[in-house]
Structure 1
């Protein structure tokens, strides 16, 4: 995600809001789709290969829009570090997390990213952890506790690896986001996204193919549809709409708008996968929302 100038008190662009809704809805629907795909294909192979193809498609979109794919001299190592964390860490960790977690649980844990951004910004950017930011972290931990304790001790221990993977992915994105701000990667947004996807997903795809040895014949027509969705919608359309929204909306508005992602994820998981919508899920969603709201306001 790229920082944009604040738009002041100018009226919000209806087209920008429409782009934001499309991106957030597409990312939210991806959680139950990823969960379904795990029943046919392993996580690293599916996520990695979709990301590689998505990177190629996004690169073509960038070139079609007149954006150069050239990486400025001296920026490769910074681009590689940020991409490995923000994309590679997220893609691998969240894919593995879904082995133990329901799609709705992964969606809730995924929106803790702004909290980790606020926390990581302290040592990296020198932004002190204010009282509101510390409060947001405490509230986020309360939301995670509600998610862990919802099914009793046995259930909590059973999904603990998934929770740790999901949190690791969120922390990686938080660290990658802060480093992106610190490094000031001077590239067109779509070109930057294409390179980040490629650098982050190629190693995961290679590791997945070598270790998991996926078989194309294992994919049903719904599995292929899921792969196509992850490639064209999650990695391509959603990113194009996200950057289009950033061009038309204040960054704060766009960030808050992404809170639609877990709502869509939780509701879509209930509708598409028949996942139960428990009281602990709702409590975790509400509490985590509160934490993110505090983090965004500070």
Structure 2
């Protein structure tokens, strides 16, 4: 590896760390914001504002915001699976679940993609993928089996939203394998905007949030969510993909639930015992195995 290649690799790793840390800290931040504001309004406001920032950055970078007519159906589908379902349902589940429960369930999306690829693409799982599924779903069993699976109605609602976010994101991954004919930042701006606009409309029509209800910490999280995980992190993520192999970048995102769970324990005082630790090892071990090439 040349000196320039080593420098690019180190820069890629640094950008990956910035990306994963920014996304990870959003999870405990969301729990703080939900004390003041309802979920869809919180995500909708931050997402629509972030989409405008991303569009400005795309324009500044010389990317076109034009969407070819034939790309609109795929763009709308990607906006639904990648943003509305992933971000919206992922935020809703935090109303009923802890950060450890929500993030670990949501980050099983790679396992669900492995399962969905079988009937949809005919990609039958091999021994490595089967091992990944066994590890991942064993982790879910440990996570949810702490009280003998005696989950109350509220907890079941949260689990349902978390799994819906994971499964729908996985479905989008399987069906949207071909890249959209739109530059990266412009694509992110469109997807975030189209996915979050319905949340914003629903939030202000149904949830009716009050700006005065936002505390100082709520405002801080709302600004952070807009600028960092939904703004800066998209820029650093696309830069990471230019500097690191996709497999390295994808595996690196497993730091998101790890950092998120640890930070939630430190900031929110959420439990972090043997059950959460074992579930994390199993789920993330399964996802890592699924991400590796056979």
Common topology (TM > 0.5): yes
Equivalences for residues 15-164 of structure 1 within 5 A: 15-154=11-150, 158-164=154-160
- 2:284 is the counterpart of 1:289: yes
* Unaligned 5+ runs, structure 1: 1-9
How far, CA to CA, are the matches of 1:222 and 1:141 in structure 2?
36
State which of 248, 266, 272 in structure 2 corresponds to 1:277: 272
State which of 149, 152, 168 in structure 2 corresponds to 1:172: 168
How far, CA to CA, are the matches of 2:186 and 2:9 in structure 1?
24
State which of 241, 255, 259 in structure 1 corresponds to 2:254: 259
- 2:183 is the counterpart of 1:188: yes
Deviation at 1:152, TM superposition (A): 4.5
CA contact (8 A) 1:31 1:104 kept: no
Q: TM-score scaled to structure 1, two decimals? A: 0.92
How far, CA to CA, are the matches of 2:228 and 2:51 in structure 1?
12
Deviation at 1:125, TM superposition (A): 3.2
- The two structures, once aligned, show a CA RMSD in angstroms of 1.5
CA contact (8 A) 1:150 1:281 kept: no
How far, CA to CA, are the matches of 1:240 and 1:187 in structure 2?
15
What does the per-residue CA deviation read over 1:240-277, in whole Å, with 9 as the maximum and x for residues that have no partner? 11001001000000001111101110110011101121
Q: How many residues align?
A: 288
- 2:206 is the counterpart of 1:211: yes
Q: TM-score scaled to structure 2, two decimals? A: 0.93
Deviation at 1:289, TM superposition (A): 1.2
* Unaligned 5+ runs, structure 2: none
Moved more, 212-221 or 147-156: 147-156
Partner of 1:4: none
